[in-house]
Structure 1
Amino acid sequence: MRLAFSLLALAPLALARLPDGRLHGNRPPRPLPPSVLAPDSTQVVHASTNATLPPLDTIYYFDQLIDHRNPSLGTFKQRYWSTWEFYEPGGPIVLSTPGEANAAPYTGYLTNRTINGQIAQQQKGATIVLEHRYFGLSNPFSDLSVASLKYHTVQQAIDDLAYFADNVKLPMPGGDQVPPSKAPWILIGGSYSGALTAFTKINKPDSFYIGYASSAVVESITNFWAYFEPVRQYMPKNCSSDVEAVVAHFDRVLTSGNNTAIAELKHLYGMDDVVHADDVSGALRNNLWNWQDLDADSGGSVFYDFCDAIEVKDGVSAPASGWGLEHALTAWGTYWTSTYMQTLCGGDGAEDCLGTYNTTQSFWTDTSLDNPERSWMWLVCNEFGFFQDTAPPYQPSIVSRIVTISGDERQCQQMFPEAFKGPANPKAWKTNAEYDGWFLRANRLFIANGVRDPWRYATVSSGFVDIPSTPQQPIAVGDGFHCSDLITRNGAVDPTILKVQQSSLSHIKKWLAEWKPAGSGHYYGRGNEL
């Protein structure tokens, strides 16, 4: 099966293999691979009483409304996981969702291996992981057809979080006595779910007393070429120099009309049967998307293996200018065909794996449940954009100039022909108008970003706008990558990430000391504190 697609990639959605073996093009802003936080079926012991608690992978179900604007449509079973390992009466309820993924592998976010658990441990709180509607097995309907996806919107997801907090009876002592009016709720998210956290604080200011938004992609951007800018800026200089040279060479050859030269170049990269030029050059983005998998504890990553394959020759590293086109072109081709292609495509042929025009493939037609690429693409094509393509002509680019948003728009139409009669035009402007984008302001919203995050330009730390840090909406920036601050161990590796984590714990401690239950004179709204 082929694909080009997560928080995604589209345009000819260039591909990268997901942990379950499926391919995707545009890279979604997903918060760290779940393998970092594998599910835990061991018993949990309460921190103070030593009472045995259910295993972390115990699944609970909540009756969630299908349509918050029309409750008469009924409910569906939304899955969640929870533990009260550190909970004491009066402590906060810490809620998170992994967003665009099956939530089962994310039970590590219940533990102090993450900032979620650190907060719960410090404040004697309980932790919850809630599966996002239309991902995993939390679905209102039996398929992911266009008709079923009608209720798959950002606003419905926000409403889910608030309705859950207001109505859930948590599986713990006193779990029916902790709605937001009686206990402080903290909403935490990273990447898309970080944006969802910020959006919820804007849209439902009374539901969650505190928000923690990590690498939150709050500004929806249709032509998100800047995704690759932090990669270009922070990858080894010799590697970026040679990648630019190779990509420019691909563009010259593929647009030359010289069929012999085109065939030779495709053969060098094992893409002999890939039909379309934008699929050939767009496929090279896969090596760049691996940057998103980096965190502060990732010394031997696939991304650096790629750069080493190009820049280390006979045990000697290239200077900052790189080795030049002749060596880099061949070295990248050798790495691609001998190592990377198998990881990317498995046993699929190059056209099946990398091609984006054949709509008979199951990637385009599979409407079965637990299909995260399809669910994510629905949001991308309708509300976000986030198409990760070439830079504007005035900017240096490590992505082919042939790869443009027209390919992404085409792929939206290919996947959802019933919804788009022509190329899709995501309403990113509407999403920004509804939830304030870069300019959002909320009380008690802690924002954490990393300078090396490829999604940074969609966050409030983009630099495109000057968003000040305030006491009620502090912005902490470390040297990390995508959502690095969410993982406890990263603070032990990078002191700048540790500083972000410590700052969040300090702010949350202060804010919780000021919390009062409903009816005691406390106002939850945004007010005039900013």
Structure 2
Amino acid sequence: MAGSSSLFVHRLWLAISAVLLLIAASSPSTLVAAVRTQTTAKRVPGLSSLFAFKHAEAKALGIDDPSLPPFINDIDDDEVDGQVKVAAKGEKTPYGPHTFTQPLDHFHSTTKATFKQRYWISTKYYNESSKSPTPIYVVDGGETSGVNRIPFLEHGILDLLAEATGGISIVLEHRYYGTSKPRLRDIGNKTYWDVDALRWLTNEQALEDSAHFMRNIKLPGIASASAQNKLTADKTPWIYIGGSYAGARAAHMRVLYPDIVFGAISTSGVSAAIDSFPQYYYPIARGADPACTQAIQAAIGAFDAIAVPAFYGSTKESTVQQKKKEDALRTLFHAKDLDWDDLANLLSSQLGYYQALNWDPAVSSPGWDQFCDVMTNKTAIKSPALTPRPLSSSSKRDLTRLSKLAAVQEAFARSSVASLRAELDGKFSTNGHGGDKDDEEDWLPDELFRLASYVRANMIEPCQRSGSTLRQCFSTKGTEAWKDFVHARTLGSSKAWMYQVCTQWGYFQGAAPKQPSIANAPNTNRRIHPHFEPSAQQQRPMMLANADTEQLTASSLFDDRSRSTAYTPGPQLVSSLLTLSYTASYCPEAFPPTSISPGVPDRPDIDEVNRLGSFDIGLRSLAAQRGATRGTGKEGVDRLAIINGQFDPWRPATPHSEEYAGGGARTDTLMRPFKLIPNCWHHCDQNSLPSDERKAGKEPERIRKIHEEEVAFVRAWLLRWGK
């Protein structure tokens, strides 16, 4: 890909991918897309609350398969755009792909299988005759196909740094993503991607992939052997870069491999793995329009007033009156076939739009503003702040698709609260007669009706029009419903990331602490995974329990902080029905045991991640692990930059966490940059404008400033090479 057209394709995809995927990033409870399998129209169950929106969105964008993303019958679920598909099919870009052979198991000799790890390289700024060492920048592909990182070789912080320092840029795909995965026939004649086939997808193995690559790669496009010899990790500085999950990996690489990773930039790096993670919603409440977040909480509060007693089977009202309320609420949402917790999950899915905000209008998703316009009863018009800049003629077709997308998103706004109230006229009355001014529907807030109009038009009705039942689109329950997912013969990013979430990372995004009576309400009608009861221990992040590990003993400070904030009530942006039990319940269903494997653990082994530093990563030493070269000294780690956006929903899992790290109580220096970008969101420093626009001063001041600071501290780092 090249030029402004490829940049727009990248921006267009970014605008929808934050909703379609996951940190990376998105909530595990809304991560699983509803998709068609190869043999049946049945969708992947559970956590599929974005299916209907995606269906309409994909149709508006002209994408071939409206059940996007097809992570069961896909090449890769992220490689969907026309220009991206070219690379997905193996055709060359100017940068590759190239491959590097990796052992599947670096440590335990459980298999002799290998896989081809893809990478892409840009040498456009490389000068072989330069007397200064050539920095090599590696961008970690993270939890998506490396194809989606190719534009960073042309625009963004990777290209900015390479241009400023005469460096070489590399995009390195993560194991089990894109095509960087073993062949099933090489790992025990497997026929589908079950827990046996996925067991080598661990943080430890993936980190060693990067180290093995850096130690042994012979870079293509470098003419002479003498030049090649100058580009090894002991002869020239290698700097590791990543955002979100990949940002945590960048920090881990600097801490674990200081002998080969000269520096690292961790942007929105979730260095703290947390199983129960309601704090995801806290920055949304802090950063969004208060009128919008208050409207959401009003709607959710009204929903919970009826749904929570119905779910737990505990109410002081007569059974007849309670049943009237329940039926009326289901009628309002057109969701009579859904369990209450599945309906509650559906109502939360639009919050993922907030993470998709970006300072660049061509990248930022309009979904959040449009949703808030509905919730606050504003006229459904496109925000001027989200109007894309003029585009080249080659991109006008994509702009037309975006306009169609906006029309899809705004269509629901025509539904009036009055008409929805009319649907409920008399349905709360025990005598069955409508028209009574005292009918209970009259006190239900307008915000609940607005939320219902949004959900019906964008999720419920498109699901029904597709020929599926609501349970097929949105239910999380039942082993039979997960059968096709479990036995998938191809592996896409969504399933791979779900496995990592269930085994090591967590981030189950349920409701914030509210009333003890809700958390302790009797459980009478739900299937619970035994570990995931919201006990006192599990209501706080479960960190660093290994007391005999050197650096974790010092982390007792974190334990104190977590206890002090464990029960602090948070914003009620999602229903109280989204407990840890519910948001984590898909793990044993999606990854059941086999004849040789017990399946995923009862809870994610977050300690394996957090012993690398968690919120305090880089501040104190690690006990020597697997050799004397693995420590970094008691004084901490230089040349590890930690960068976050002020209102990033993932900020609570980073060293800038307001909940667990004092908002980021560290000094910002050239050797240890620690920067918080005001009024910004998820890894918002990684993209940039095209060179001509950037040099014309068209980037916002805060983005121009952070880019200049990143170039400045990397230049300062390079001055220390060899000293």
TM range (shorter): 0.7 to 0.9
1:388 matched residue in structure 2: 509
1:405 matched residue in structure 2: 580
1:124 matched residue in structure 2: 166
1:292 aligns with 2:355: yes
Counterpart residue type for residue 305 of structure 1: Q
1:355 aligns with 2:475: yes
Q: How does 1:368-379 map to 2 (within 5 A)?
A: 368-379=489-500
Does the residue aligned with 2:585 lie in a helix, a strand or coil? helix
Tell me if structure 2 keeps the 8 A contact 1:10–1:407: no
Tell me if structure 1 keeps the 8 A contact 2:118–2:172: yes
Pair 38,193 (structure 1): closer, same or farther in 2 beyond 3 Å: farther
Tell me if structure 2 keeps the 8 A contact 1:4–1:13: no
**Separation in 1 of the partners of 2:176 and 2:600?**
25
1:431 aligns with 2:609: yes
Tell me if structure 1 keeps the 8 A contact 2:251–2:640: yes
Pair 35,414 (structure 1): closer, same or farther in 2 beyond 3 Å: closer
Does the residue aligned with 1:241 lie in a helix, a strand or coil? helix
Counterpart residue type for residue 721 of structure 2: W
Does the residue aligned with 1:61 lie in a helix, a strand or coil? strand
1:260 aligns with 2:320: no
Does the residue aligned with 1:447 lie in a helix, a strand or coil? strand
Q: How does 1:357-506 map to 2 (within 5 A)?
A: 357-361=477-481, 364-393=485-514, 394-418=569-593, 424-433=602-611, 435-441=612-618, 442-463=637-658, 464-466=660-662, 467-471=665-669, 472-479=671-678, 480-489=680-689, 492-506=698-712
Q: How does 1:213-292 map to 2 (within 5 A)?
A: 213-257=266-310, 258-274=322-338, 276-292=339-355
Tell me if structure 1 keeps the 8 A contact 2:268–2:654: yes
Tell me if structure 1 keeps the 8 A contact 2:99–2:117: yes
Residue 494 (structure 1) shift = 2.9
| Mean CA deviation greater in 162-171 or 291-300 | 291-300
- Is there any run of 5+ residues in structure 1 with no aligned partner, and where? 25-32, 43-53, 318-322, 517-521, 523-530
Aligned residues: 488
Residue 165 (structure 1) shift = 0.8
Does the residue aligned with 2:689 lie in a helix, a strand or coil? helix
- How big is each residue's C-alpha offset from its partner over 1:182-206, in whole Å with a ceiling of 9 and x where there is no partner? 2211110000000000011111111
**Separation in 2 of the partners of 1:473 and 1:4?**
31
Does the residue aligned with 2:239 lie in a helix, a strand or coil? strand
Counterpart residue type for residue 66 of structure 1: L
1:85 aligns with 2:291: no
Q: How does 1:190-209 map to 2 (within 5 A)?
A: 190-209=243-262
Q: Percentage identity across aligned positions?
A: 27
| Mean CA deviation greater in 419-428 or 281-290 | 419-428
**Separation in 2 of the partners of 1:60 and 1:213?**
25
Residue 36 (structure 1) shift = 11
Residue 270 (structure 1) shift = 3.2
- How big is each residue's C-alpha offset from its partner over 1:191-230, in whole Å with a ceiling of 9 and x where there is no partner? 0000000011111111211101100000111111000111
- How big is each residue's C-alpha offset from its partner over 1:277-325, in whole Å with a ceiling of 9 and x where there is no partner? 11111111111111111111246610110110121356899xxxxx995
Tell me if structure 2 keeps the 8 A contact 1:38–1:106: no
Counterpart residue type for residue 284 of structure 1: L
Counterpart residue type for residue 260 of structure 1: K
1:337 aligns with 2:456: yes
Residue 238 (structure 1) shift = 1.2
Counterpart residue type for residue 176 of structure 2: Y
Larger Rg computed on CA atoms: 2
Compute the TM-score of the two structures, normalised by the length of structure 2.
Answer: 0.63
Tell me if structure 2 keeps the 8 A contact 1:4–1:355: no
Does the residue aligned with 1:259 lie in a helix, a strand or coil? helix
Does the residue aligned with 1:373 lie in a helix, a strand or coil? helix
2:209 matched residue in structure 1: 160
**Separation in 2 of the partners of 1:358 and 1:184?**
52
**Separation in 2 of the partners of 1:223 and 1:182?**
44
1:320 matched residue in structure 2: none
1:212 aligns with one of 265, 270, 279: 265
Counterpart residue type for residue 452 of structure 2: G
- Is there any run of 5+ residues in structure 2 with no aligned partner, and where? 1-19, 30-45, 59-64, 71-77, 185-191, 311-321, 384-417, 419-442, 515-568, 619-636
1:306 aligns with 2:504: no
Residue 55 (structure 1) shift = 3.3
**Separation in 1 of the partners of 2:196 and 2:365?**
44
- How big is each residue's C-alpha offset from its partner over 1:395-436, in whole Å with a ceiling of 9 and x where there is no partner? 331111110111233211111111557983112233212x11
Tell me if structure 2 keeps the 8 A contact 1:270–1:350: no
1:512 matched residue in structure 2: 718
| Mean CA deviation greater in 132-141 or 297-306 | 297-306
1:527 matched residue in structure 2: none
Compute the TM-score of the two structures, normalised by the length of structure 1.
Answer: 0.84
Counterpart residue type for residue 617 of structure 2: L
**Separation in 2 of the partners of 1:128 and 1:438?**
28
Tell me if structure 2 keeps the 8 A contact 1:191–1:217: yes
